[in-house]
Amino acid sequence: MYPRIVINLKKLKNNLYKTIEMVKASGHSLMIVTKGCCADMEVYKLLEESDVDYLADSRIQSLKKYEGTKKERVLLRLPMISEVDEVVRYADMSLNSEIDTIIRLNEAAEKQGKKHKILLMIDLGDLREGVFFKNENEIYHITEEILKLANIELYGIGVNLTCYGAVIPTKENLSYLVETAEKIERKFNIKLKMISGGNSSSVYLIGRNELPERINNLRVGEAFLLGNETSYGKMLEGFYDDAFIFEAEIIELKKKQSIPVGETGVDAFGSKPVYEDLGIIKRAILAAGRQDIDPEGMHPIDSEIYVLGASSDHLILNVDNSQEDYKVGGIVKFKLNYSSLLRAATSPFVEKVYIK
């Protein structure tokens, strides 16, 4: 059935072991982030057999799938107060920035007879989660309150970069993270076990030997799945960018003009599209749409095809210049960027098949 993602587990295993070699050879522990493949269980089997230290995901529903794992499970998205019982039950560690939530996690951990680890997130300027690094008094206050909690272990601190504000991790800004950790340690006479220096956007610093020395953990998803670092979008040497291929079926193939007829307003998603006048072109419509994929993240294997746009259920292509003899019922294949992979892997309408 189509649409579908073809997952090449051999290529993915190559990427996994290249990631392990790259990160762990430099002395860092490794969290593999699985949200990009929606906690796929065939991918999980690869991870379970590997030297990965932690399985990390943003959704408790995904971490639930990993019951019985030999790895530690980490909840990446800040916990909701409404889910603290499940967080403690299914995650060994979570990322946090709100003391009210941490207090509730402590209560849940006490009820379950557990000790729950947390990373206190520090915002270095990307403006997503974390206590802002310049607000030292707030950092110290939260730390002091955490240390009073019997069933919470302040395991370390962490940072997220590039995901919202697109701030690139550098030796300079990550040094602020290390400096913050050392200030906490001196003030409270403790030793933090983990300083987590970000995600796949921090990977490029390993090759440059520019990760500050005390950073000892990275959280890697896109580099493992798609073979690229995310600061500059460069392919990593020896990695594959086509472990995931999206395939969809042609349901209409016709010559039409390239500009709509009549007065135009906004499309089904509230945007006002802009069209280029290419004259009469051969257009293919595929049975997939924004409910399944992000059309801006689709890269046709046939380099002479161009994605024109998409509605919720239809992906529209310009196939006018292609040398392939496409027909209704034929299949078009795509590489995916992270945004499109994330959506396709999450859609219940996209089948998954495996090359083992």
- Quick one: which H or E segment has residue 245? strand 244-257
Count of alpha carbons within 13 angstroms of residue 15, beta-carbon side: 27
**Does 171 participate in catalysis according to the annotation?**
no
* Whole-angstrom distance, CA of residue 150 vs CA of residue 22: 37
Find the angle CA(287)-CA(224)-CA(42) to the nearest 5 degrees. Answer: 65
- Spatial contact of 231 and 169, defined as CB atoms under 8 Å apart: yes
Q: Is 287 exposed, middle or buried (0-12, 13-18, 19+ CB in 10 A)?
A: middle
Residue 119: closest CA among 129, 104, 107? 129
* Whole-angstrom distance, CA of residue 171 vs CA of residue 146: 29
- Spatial contact of 32 and 221, defined as CB atoms under 8 Å apart: yes
**11, 13, 35, 71: which one is catalytic?**
35
- At 228, give phi and psi (nearest 5°): -135, 150
Catalytic residues: 35
